[in-house]
Amino acid sequence: MRTSIQNETLGNVSVPSLKTNTSVLKTEVSKLAISILLIFASYGLRAHGDDHPGPNGGAIRMPGSFHTELIVLKEGFKILLLDVSLKNPIMKDSSLQAKLVEGNKEQKLECQAHPDHFFCPTSKVPTSGKLILKASRAKLQGAEAVYDLPIPKK
């Protein structure tokens, strides 16, 4: 939108309207503010720890009010059940079921309890597929924790 103004030297001159520019500027600033807000809000939507290695260097998932940390070893999988602060692995009143899924094949793993973790041996650690854990920590049942294989190095 343009507005005409009278100038002594130039006569009648058409110039951009300040009202329109202010409105456009407010709209653009609002769009920018909303974009920045959405970017920061999306960080909070990620599962806790999924993008950072755990305290023992493993991959983290949060299936409930606790975390699982998966460490891939040559002989199988080491799984720690950590609190919400990624600390204090405990085994008392805890359980773990694990299965490997490759394509349409499922293999249930027999996991053994150790003083501070579970160990799920496997003859061969797969290079594709998923490891699905169903854990409870101190009587608190979690949802399935799904790890895509192979676990990327962080």
Beta-bridge mates of residue 56: none
CATH class of 59-149: mainly beta
DSSP code at position 78: E
Q: Which two tokens stand for residue 4?
A: 């005409």
| Contact of 136 with 88, CB cutoff 8 Å | no
Predicted local distance difference test score (pLDDT) of residue 153: 74
Low-confidence ranges of the chain (pLDDT < 70): 1-11, 13-21, 32-33, 35-50, 154
Rounded to two decimals, the pTM is 0.68
Instruction: Express each pLDDT in 15-48 by its tens digit.
Output: 665 555 677 777 777 776 676 666 555 444 444 5
| Contact of 54 with 86, CB cutoff 8 Å | yes
Q: Where are the alpha helices (DSSP H) in the chain?
A: 18-45
CA distance 95 to 137: 7
Q: Where are the domains of the chain?
A: 2-45, 59-149
CA distance 6 to 133: 77
Of the candidates 142, 122, 129, the residue with the CA atom closest to the CA atom of residue 77: 122
Q: Which residue's structure tokens are 């094949």?
A: 105
